[in-house]
Every structure is written in C-alpha cells, then in structure tokens.
C-alpha cells in the first residue's frame, strides 16, 4: 500500500493577507471610535462651559 500523506496548508498567503487586512480595518475602526468619543466629550464640555 502506498504511503499517502495529506498535508493541508491552512496558513496560505491569501489567508495571511486577509487576516492582515482585517487587523488593519479593526485598528482603523478602533482609532476612529476613540477620536469620535474624544470629539463628543470635547463638544459636550464646550456646551457645558459656554451655555450653562
């Protein structure tokens, strides 16, 4: 009987590129959320100081 070896390459270059792209997307998203929260807090504090 022939020696049959099944090898699967689960870490293909395409998969690595996809993971890297999703990591960049997540990083951009979290950075946008942080900036959005900061701007919102700054606007609310400005309203509190100038309107109240």
> pTM for this structure?
0.65
Among the listed residues 36, 18, 4, 15, the one whose alpha carbon sits nearest the alpha carbon of residue 44: 36
Q: Is the pLDDT of residue 50 over 80?
A: yes
Is the confidence at residue 3, as pLDDT, over 70? Answer: no
Q: How open is the CA angle 15-3-6, to the nearest 5 degrees?
A: 15
Q: Is 4 left (phi over 0), alpha (psi -120 to 50) or beta?
A: beta
Question: What gap in Å lies between CA 27 and CA 49, rounded to an integer?
Answer: 33
- Write out pLDDT tens, residues 6-49: 766 666 778 888 999 999 999 999 999 999 999 999 999 999 99
d(CA 31, CA 42): 17
């Amino acid at each position: 009987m022939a020696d049959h070896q099944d090898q699967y390459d689960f870490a293909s270059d395409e998969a690595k590129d996809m993971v890297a792209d999703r990591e960049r997307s997540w990083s951009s998203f979290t950075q946008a959320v942080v900036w959005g929260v900061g701007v919102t807090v700054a606007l609310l504090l400005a309203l509190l100081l100038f309107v109240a």
